[in-house]
Each structure stands twice: as C-alpha cells, then as structure tokens.
Amino acid sequence: MNRRQKSVIAALLYMRRMKRRRKHRYWVHPVRLGREQHGEYHRLVLELRLDSDLFQQYFRLSRELFDELLARVGPSISKLDTRFRWAIGPAQRLAICLRYLATGDSFRTIAFSYRVGHCTVCRVVKEVADAIWQVLVAEFMPAPSREDWLSVAEGFRERWNFPNCVGSIDGKHVIIQAPDNSGSLYYNYKGTHSIVLLAVVDSNYLFRVVDVGGYGRASDGGTLYNSAFGEGLRDGTLDLPEDATIRGAEQRGRMPFVFVGDEAFPLRRNLMRPFPGPHVHGEKRVFNYRLSRARLVVECAFGILSSQWRMYRRVIGASPATAEVCVRATCVLHNYLRVMTLRRKETSAGYRQPGEGGADDCLQGVSRMAANNATREALRVRAQFASYFNQEGAVPWQVQP
C-alpha cells in the first residue's frame, strides 16, 4: 500500500467518524432556558433565605456564613458574560458546590435540580472547591509556627491532660469510584477504593495539617512516610518547640513535644504510639489509656467532618483529582465554621490569626530519608511519659495499673 492509498483511507475514516458524531439539536436546551424561572437556586434557595433553620439544613452552614463566604470567594469564581451565553453568577456557583459537598448527590442530579449542564456542574464543583481552599487556607489553616505548636500543647495539657502534645494524627479513607486502569492502587483493606486524608488535629478539633491524595492501598504509616509532613517530622523541619520540662515534674528533665497516633504509625522521638499487645498491664496500660484519650480528638474531628459534609457518606463518583480538591475544601471549611463559631463565643484566643504563606510553606524543601525502626531514644521517651502518667501526672479517673 503506497502513501496515496494510505492518505485516501485516512480521509475516508475521518469522514466516517465525522458523520457518526452526534449533532446537537439545541444550542441551549429549552429546559435550561428556564433556569431563572424554575431552577432550584432561583426558586427554592431564595425561599429558604426566609427560614434560617432550613437554610442551615440545606447548605450545612448558616445564611450569614454563606454570605460571608461568598464575599470572600466571589471575586475568584466570577465569570464574564459573552455574546453566546450568560455566565452563571458567583452565588449560584457557590450554591452548587456547597450542595454537592453537603449531600454527595451525583453531578447529574444537581444538574437537573439547578437546570444546568452535567459537565457544567463537574467544572463548577472543582473550580469553586479549589477557590475555597486557596482563599481560606492562609487564615484558617496556616502553616503552624513554633508559637502555634506551643498553643496547641497548652490546649492538650488543659483539656486532655497530655502535656507536650502538639497534635493528634490519623488517616481517613475517602471512598471513591475506582478510576479507569488504576489496578489495585486505590483498593484498601476494607474492600473499597479510596484516597487517604492524613490529618493533624489540635485540642479544639481544628485541622492544623492535612495531606490528601494518598493511595488507598497504603497504610497510615506508609501514607505518613510519603507525605511532606512525614518528611518534615523525620528531618526536624516542622519548627517544633525545643524540649521543655513538664509542669509539676521538673525533676524528670526536658521532654520533647510529640504527636500521638494509633498502632498504625511508627514510634519516633516526636511521635508516640501505644504499647503493643492486646493485654498490657501496669504503667503500660495507663499510658495506653491516656494516649488513646488524647488521640480520640482526631477521630472526633473526622466524625464532625463527615457529619457536616455528607459527601463522605457516599461513593464519590468524580475523578481522584476532583475528590482531592473537594476533601481539602471541606477541611478548610470545617475550620472556617468552627473558628467563626468560636470567635462569636469569645473562646478562640488560642487560635492563631493568618500568617505569611500557605499551609504547605513550612513543609517544602524537605529531603527524603530512609525509614528505621524505633530508636532507643523513642523508647526512652515513651517510658518517661508512662512513668509520668502513673506518678505526678496521674488523674483520678484513669484506669488502675
């Protein structure tokens, strides 16, 4: 077959493919032309503004917070009108995104309700969720400084009786639809496909550090190892405070500031995990109880997150990239709602106001290091905490050794 014959065959295949292409019957479907008269935003949402309780149930945040959020992200999500179509306004775009985060409904269901295209909903959710993260992260989830870590440690000492604790760490599997040609990358031990949300939470259930997008097949320890936060923890670049004595136990000397996690995480000098085994006694049992009490903060934060944003209770049908953006948006919205509530109650004095840079500034530039087993120093630190919880730091309600 010569070159000319190949060109003729290619041209015929192209013409056949063009004939098979579906011809659009409408420039804009007649159903969507009635968006401003019958669409859910222009009818139901405007009526819900007259009832604050129903508005809260619909969007999972109050009318006042919705308007304030719109004022913050509106300039980032506005589109220009063209000669061909009128752009969807920023308020309606925010409503579509929040409705998806609040319910987890399919994009097609929301498209029918708001009388917009299915692809339009996909694009709006991703763009608005990313804008929410970019606009709010600097104020409501800033990169923790040394002063922030000290404030977090004071909160854990007062509320959860665990001194020198700078955060509770854990991972959460966010169920997604299996991506095409992904093999077993996203397949987790629960028999579903997921991405992993790794989070550090303070004593007020606020997310201080989040890492989203880990493969579901990885364990919590593996996700930590591959994250920027895990690299910073190994390298000592998280700007943690210097070792300090525990109030009332100065004779024990200086103790490091630590994160607390469950058995899935490795034991490190700045990362405490329980003593292993189903049957532990004596000081080890008391230590496991006190660590578990402080560690449950992150479990409660995940519970609040999934209760507020019901997309976590469904299988996310979007791509992993869109799912990651939505997860980040819900985390910073979680902080936004709690901080605004704490400010109104005048109990947010321990929360740091916006700083310079984004949430990942202090985690950039860290180098990879090889994993190692628990060092003698880490074992010594855990033993010191166990001894403290059984002597100077004992509380009346703890389990008996």
pLDDT (tens digit, 9 = 90+) per residue, 275-317? Answer: 998 888 889 999 999 999 999 999 999 999 999 999 999 999 8
Q: Pick the more confident residue, 32 or 286.
A: 286
Return the pLDDT at 347.
Answer: 44
**pLDDT given at position 349:** 47
Residues 136-163 pLDDT 10s: 999 999 999 999 999 999 999 999 999 9
Per-residue pLDDT at 360 exceeds 60: no
> Region 209-236: what's the mean pLDDT?
92
Residue 326 has pLDDT above 90, yes or no: yes
Residue bearing tokens 């936004």: 336
The pLDDT, as a whole number, for residue 371 is 40
**At a CB cut-off of 8 Å and minimum separation 6, what does 206 contact?**
301, 334, 335, 338, 339, 351
pLDDT exceeds 70 at position 373? no
Per-residue pLDDT reduced to its tens digit, 224-276: 999 999 999 998 889 999 999 999 899 999 999 999 999 999 999 999 999 99
- The model's pTM is 0.84
Selected residue with higher pLDDT from 344 and 184: 184
Angle at which helices 63-77 and 118-140 pack, to 10 degrees?
A: 100
Contact 136, 186 (CB under 8 A): no
- The pLDDT of residue 354 is above 50: no
Type of residue found at 81: D
Kindly state the average pLDDT of the residues 34-47: 85
**What pLDDT, on the 0 to 100 scale, is given for residue 245?**
93
Residue 400: pLDDT over 70: no
- pLDDT tens track for 150-206: 999 999 999 999 999 999 999 999 999 999 888 999 999 999 999 999 999 999 999
Confidence of residue 21 (pLDDT cuts 50, 70, 90): low
* Predicted local distance difference test score (pLDDT) of residue 57: 94
- Cβ atoms of 39 and 114 closer than 8 Å: yes
How confident is residue 70, by pLDDT bands cut at 50, 70 and 90? very high
- The phi and psi torsions of 163 (rounded to 5 degrees) equal -70, 155
Give the mean model confidence (pLDDT) for residues 101-109.
94
Cβ burial of 313 (10 Å; 0-12, 13-18, 19+) is exposed
Average pLDDT over residues 326-342: 94
Q: Confidence band (pLDDT; 50, 70, 90) for 372?
A: very low
Least reliable range by pLDDT among 35-39, 123-127, 279-283, 388-392: 35-39
Taking the CA atoms of residue 71, residue 77, residue 81 and residue 84 in that order, the dihedral angle to the nearest 10 degrees is -150
Q: Is the pLDDT of residue 19 over 70?
A: no
Angle at the Cα of 146 from the Cα atoms of 142 and 147, rounded to 5 degrees: 80
Task: Work out the mean pLDDT of the chain and round it to a whole number.
Answer: 87
User: Residues of 1-40 as b/e, b for ≥16 C-beta within 10 angstroms?
Assistant: eeeeeeeeeeeeeeeeeeeeeeeeeeeeeeebeebeeebb
Confidence label for 101 from pLDDT (cuts 50, 70 and 90): very high
Maximum CA extent, the chain: 91
